[in-house]
Amino acid sequence: MLYPIMEPKAPHAERKLDAPPGTPAGSARFPASPGLPPPYVDERLVEPETREEMVRGQRLQAAPANPEHGDRHTEVDRLFGTHVAPSYVASTDLLTRAGERSDFATDSCIRRAGIDPRTGFRYLEELALEIVNEQSLRHMVERAEDLTACGVRRLLAIFVKKGEVAEWSPSEHRFVPLDLDGTIEDPTLVRPLPVRALLDAAVADDATIDALEAKGNPRLAEKVAEGRVQGRAEGLVEGRAEGLVQGRVEAIETLCELLGIPFGPPERAYADSLDADGLAGLLLRIKAERRWPASATVTR
């Protein structure tokens, strides 16, 4: 929830916003009003590291989150952090100068790493996300309009109470719901992000593992390799044990045939019920007694 601040504007909000030295002509991110220089992404209207924001000249106070908002925020940060593509960086609550009278933060965003040589400031976020719980739709539309106007390429929104994920459409001027069974594909992401992962912690867990695998995470690769080696070893042991059992059953069958001892389905069933050690004992008794042992009872 955002609350208006009624106090007079702080002095730093009134200072002239000059373009950085060496900024090429035409590289400004915002259309300038007559007589005013264009603002840049890191030129502040509010005090950083506070809860202040400004949207279209109205100074606001961002309130701490309810669980519905805070829980989703944590999951989104985790997903953006693991899905961010090489040469990009994910941020939380990053202040962005979104217009001459707007300076506010989205909940999570991804931008290109480093400094934009055209402006001398950080790169503008390309993919941003807002979590909407108590905020009004009008408030979110204003922020979406300003972010789009300043150059943010994509803006997603999680509408917590609806259980809905949507994307702002400048052409339709509304948030368009996304298919929960679909994915979000973007150059800022190392792999497509399942839409449902933004709402479901279990799906988010799976998506996190998939993203780490796609990024070639060394620790995950090590664990996968360990699992494969262990599986091969267990399979080899099991295979050898099965081969040993089968070989001893065949040896008993051959010995019975040579000695003229019946070895029909009941005898085979009894032999199949024994492990390798039991079969070895049965084979020795048949050799010694030259008959099927009386204690090895079978039902004919």
* Spatial distance between the Cα atoms of 204 and 123, rounded to a whole number of angstroms: 28
- Residue 80, token pair as written in the block: 């953006």
> Residue 50: its pLDDT value, please?
65
> Residue 153: its pLDDT value, please?
95
CATH code: domain 2-216 is 3.90.1570.10
pLDDT averaged over every residue in the chain: 78
Amino acid identity, position 257: E
Strand stretches in the chain, DSSP E: 2-4, 52-55, 58-62, 88-99, 102-112, 125-132, 154-159, 164-169, 174-177, 183-184, 193-194
Q: Where are the domains of the chain?
A: 2-216, 219-289
> Residue 88: its pLDDT value, please?
96
- Give pLDDT tens digits for 48-72: 766 677 777 677 767 666 777 778 8
**pLDDT beneath 70: ranges in the chain:** 1-39, 45-47, 49-51, 57, 61, 63-65, 220-221, 223-241, 297-300
* Global pTM exceeds 0.75: no
Q: Give the closest residue to 132 by CA, choosing from 192, 187, 175, 89.
A: 175
